[in-house]
Structure 1
Amino acid sequence: MSRTVLKPVVFAAALLLAGPAVAEDFAIVGAQVFPSPDAAPITNGTVVVRDGRITAVGPRSKVKVPEGTRIIDGKGRSVTAGFWNSHVHLMSPPFHQPDAQAPQALQDALRDRFGKWGFTTLFDIGSLPGDVGALRTRMAKGEVQGPRLLTVDMPFYPEHGTPIYVRELWAQTRTISAEVATPAEARQRAEAQLDAGADGVKVFTGAIVGGPQGVLPMRVDVASAAVAAAHAHGKPAFAHPTNMAGLEVAEASGVDVLAHTAPDAGPWSPELVARLKAKNMALVPTLSLFDAHLRQEGVPDEVVKRFVGNAQQQVKAMADGGGQVLFGTDAGYTEVYDTRLEYRLMTAAGLDWRQILTSLTTAPASRFGDATQRGRLAEGYAADLAMLGSDPQQSTEAFADVQMTVREGRIIYTPR
């Protein structure tokens, strides 16, 4: 049998030189393969990719690699399904007005900020109007490679509730107001964005406005109107809760995903978690956001630990109560793209490697209607893969030790 055996970096470089529209057939041989979070890892496994799909997964001794297939040596490495980041913002340069940007600048930014950390799907949950749609169009034309993009487009703020931390951005870009005052206004804009290709909506049920008000909750009827529009289109609704009042609006309006924990709300009781689970709500922790942001602001260490500790308790309570946890970092709002801190904080909260891998793969695939195509390594699934340089069973920071990221059979990241 004629085969070319290549180290991952050499192989990836060859594919990248072939151009953005090229996906090659290959097999990863000899790796520790994680078919899914709930399956036993395959110690000496093989994954075969053809035409952008997975055609075989199993022990090396039982999987026949077709003649002529390029072989990637997986010895000492781990292979999982490609990761989802369920909370990003594609609004900082070069992602604003992507039609005016050089393709290489866009591709490099996607590679270095997201592909480097194993992400094959990103859910943008708040950006400037039309930007992510325009970027997706360029990617569909083959001009730019990168992770698959989902977006809610422009978020929904309460009347007089534009968050204090985005006011300068809104003014600089001269973007139309994202505030909605009435249910009719919320419904109409939600329908317009969804009809234009948005994959969901995001409502700020608790908007940080500063001053004496502090946090401004959105009216329940306004939030409900946007959420109902999303559900009518078969799309999810995210909420930014901030505190207990915002959490109550999110619960009452029927949102699907809490985009953050709510440290200001204090510890979550089993009864609260049971209510959230009964409403089939998921949670995105974004623990590193709180840690990094508070330290950047010079908040004393003991306060940071208490605040982040509240968030960790909420994540653990959600997981213990059977609620769904989705991995997300808020990258793009924060400039922290490195995922190691998030993994450390999730582990310290009490989540094990299987729970973290679930939050990266099968949970978002299921939550966002893609469970038959993505989220696991199985025959017929899209060839979205992350190859790691170490074993996540030994340390969950191995999920950040990414040696190669593959989206639908195309290499979108390998170390330079």
Structure 2
Amino acid sequence: MIRTILLALCLCATHAVAAADLAITGARVYPAPDAAPIDNATVLVRDSRIVAVGEADDVRVPEGAERIDGAGRVLVAGFWNSHVHLISPVLIEAGTQPADVLETQVRETFTRWGFTTLFDIGGLPGNAAALRRRVEADELDGPAILHVDAPFYPEHGTPVYVRELFQRPGVASGEVATADEARARARRQIAAGADGLKLFAGAIVGGEVGVLPMDVGIARAVVEEAHAAGKPVFAHPTNTQGIEIALASGVDVLAHTTPDSGPWDAALVQRLRAADVALVPTLTLFDHELRKEQVPAFVLQRFLDNATAQVRAYAEAGGTLLFGTDVDFIDHVDTRREFELLALAGLDWRQVLASLTTAPAQRFGQGDRTGRIAPGFAADLVLLGTDPAADSTGFADVEATIRGGRILYRRAD
């Protein structure tokens, strides 16, 4: 049976694909996590969109099309990174850095690892928006960028690890003291272009307090304003109390697991699932940071065991998982360790692919145009040198990253 997927008008009209300007040939294509692979496939791209996907014998590559040889490789949809922070020394000055400097940093941090869409979930006011404007203005090649602008902290609850950042001259505090203050700021950020909001349900402040919870009324005010505008809300939970605040306020996405809380019991998992809360595991965060702190091996292992157990429980319950790295909060950009830890949590390669593609696209309202390799969808593509079906760390073996038909990264031969 011919497994060719073409736009309806392309089925009979060869001139319809003649305008294609990019062809990836010979690769094994995984069109989506739930779709059968297409071997020795050809994908045609024109004007930033996919126009044809099928077996090589069934799709003619027009003369003049740029070709990428995918023989022996795997092609998947472009990756989403649903938890980043644009706060590295270069990216934190996104409005003023030279474009070539920004592009190099973006490539090394994100596009080299297959990311065609980023969700910045907390940084300095206006910074992510500035980088997005410059990418959209073609000043530099880069991924699509969604952002929450500045996060919402409890009063006296700026986390200890970002206090220096928010003490920079001219940077407004992220703290909110009342529900009315939270509502007003939420409206301002959304009006200015934020694609969502983020609150710290549990802020790590150190000292005798340790973790400062956000008032539920304030959290609910942030969520209500975001949902009224059709925007999602992320929560940094830290512990079980933070999860309870997230649930009580109606948050959409947990930005982390909570490994210091121990395994999640079945009742909590079911409540999260019933509320349709998505989870970003960020397992490498705990591995990387605890190793930097040189904690005893048993402490590191306890954190990783708890975190992977939480991810496993949520996946088995049918909860939505979204891939995220927490870069640039951590400086570890290589994604291999995250894929290793997700495998330890019991995720198979299709579940990991969903967390990178279809799940975030659907969660953030783009499931009809990104996250799959199909005619009419954005030509956001990743060429892999290793088949992730054999080894899920193959998702880190990126040979080329393409966004909207434009090659953002290509590994040197």
Match of 2:342 among 340, 346, 361: 346
| Letter in structure 1 aligned against 2:180 | A
1:393 match: 389
Give me the whole-angstrom Cα distance separating, in 1, the residues matched to 2:64 and 2:93.
43
2:148 match: 152
Equivalent residue of 2:367, what SS? coil
Give me the whole-angstrom Cα distance separating, in 2, the residues matched to 1:391 and 1:93.
35
Q: How far does the alpha carbon of each residue in 1:206-227 deviate from its partner, in whole angstroms, 9 at most, with x for none?
A: 0001011110110000001011
Match of 2:366 among 366, 370, 377: 370
Is the contact between residue 49 and residue 379 of structure 2 (CA under 8 Å) also seen in structure 1? Answer: yes
User: Is 2:59 the partner of 1:83?
Assistant: no
| Letter in structure 2 aligned against 1:311 | A
1:410 match: 406
Deviation at 1:99, TM superposition (A): 2.2
2:4 match: none
Give unmatched runs, 5+ long, in structure 1: 1-22
Is the contact between residue 24 and residue 409 of structure 1 (CA under 8 Å) also seen in structure 2? Answer: no
1:165-180 counterparts in 2 under 5 A? 165-180=161-176
Match of 1:319 among 292, 315, 319: 315
Give unmatched runs, 5+ long, in structure 2: 1-18
Deviation at 1:173, TM superposition (A): 4.5
| Letter in structure 1 aligned against 2:409 | Y
1:39-118 counterparts in 2 under 5 A? 39-118=35-114
Deviation at 1:415, TM superposition (A): 2.2
Q: Which runs of 4 or more aligned residues in structure 1 lie more than 3 Å from their structure 2 counterparts after TM superposition?
A: none
Is the contact between residue 20 and residue 65 of structure 2 (CA under 8 Å) also seen in structure 1? Answer: no
Match of 2:298 among 298, 302, 308: 302
1:241 match: 237
| Letter in structure 2 aligned against 1:350 | G
User: Is 2:119 the partner of 1:123?
Assistant: yes
Give me the whole-angstrom Cα distance separating, in 1, the residues matched to 2:261 and 2:245.
13
Give me the whole-angstrom Cα distance separating, in 2, the residues matched to 1:99 and 1:311.
36
Deviation at 1:174, TM superposition (A): 4.5
2:135 match: 139
| Letter in structure 1 aligned against 2:250 | G
Give me the whole-angstrom Cα distance separating, in 1, the residues matched to 2:93 and 2:107.
18
Q: How far does the alpha carbon of each residue in 1:96-147 deviate from its partner, in whole angstroms, 9 at most, with x for none?
A: 2322210001111111100000000000000100011111111121111101
Match of 1:291 among 287, 290, 308: 287
Moved more, 132-141 or 59-68: 59-68
Give me the whole-angstrom Cα distance separating, in 2, the residues matched to 1:173 and 1:74.
49
Deviation at 1:66, TM superposition (A): 2.5
The total of aligned residue pairs comes to 394
1:277 match: 273
| Letter in structure 1 aligned against 2:25 | V
Deviation at 1:65, TM superposition (A): 2.2
1:228 match: 224
Deviation at 1:414, TM superposition (A): 1.2
Give me the whole-angstrom Cα distance separating, in 2, the residues matched to 1:99 and 1:333.
19
Give me the whole-angstrom Cα distance separating, in 2, the residues matched to 1:128 and 1:347.
34
Task: Please report the TM-score for the alignment, with normalisation by the length of structure 2.
Answer: 0.94
| Letter in structure 2 aligned against 1:336 | H
User: Is 2:186 the partner of 1:190?
Assistant: yes
Residues 397/134 of structure 1: CA separation in 2 closer, same or farther (3 Å cut):
same
2:210 match: 214
Q: How far does the alpha carbon of each residue in 1:341-367 deviate from its partner, in whole angstroms, 9 at most, with x for none?
A: 000000011000000000000000000
Alignment RMSD, CA only?
Answer: 1.2
Equivalent residue of 1:116, what SS? helix
Give me the whole-angstrom Cα distance separating, in 2, the residues matched to 1:44 and 1:63.
11
| Letter in structure 2 aligned against 1:401 | D
Is the contact between residue 88 and residue 333 of structure 1 (CA under 8 Å) also seen in structure 2? Answer: yes
Give me the whole-angstrom Cα distance separating, in 2, the residues matched to 1:374 and 1:337.
24
Give me the whole-angstrom Cα distance separating, in 2, the residues matched to 1:256 and 1:187.
17
Is the contact between residue 335 and residue 396 of structure 2 (CA under 8 Å) also seen in structure 1? Answer: yes
Give me the whole-angstrom Cα distance separating, in 2, the residues matched to 1:263 and 1:56.
44
Is the contact between residue 238 and residue 255 of structure 1 (CA under 8 Å) also seen in structure 2? Answer: yes
Equivalent residue of 2:138, what SS? coil
Match of 1:262 among 254, 258, 261: 258
Is the contact between residue 47 and residue 57 of structure 1 (CA under 8 Å) also seen in structure 2? Answer: yes
Q: How far does the alpha carbon of each residue in 1:223-280 deviate from its partner, in whole angstroms, 9 at most, with x for none?
A: 0101111101101000000001111000100000000001122111222111111111
Moved more, 373-382 or 64-73: 64-73
Is the contact between residue 270 and residue 321 of structure 1 (CA under 8 Å) also seen in structure 2? Answer: no
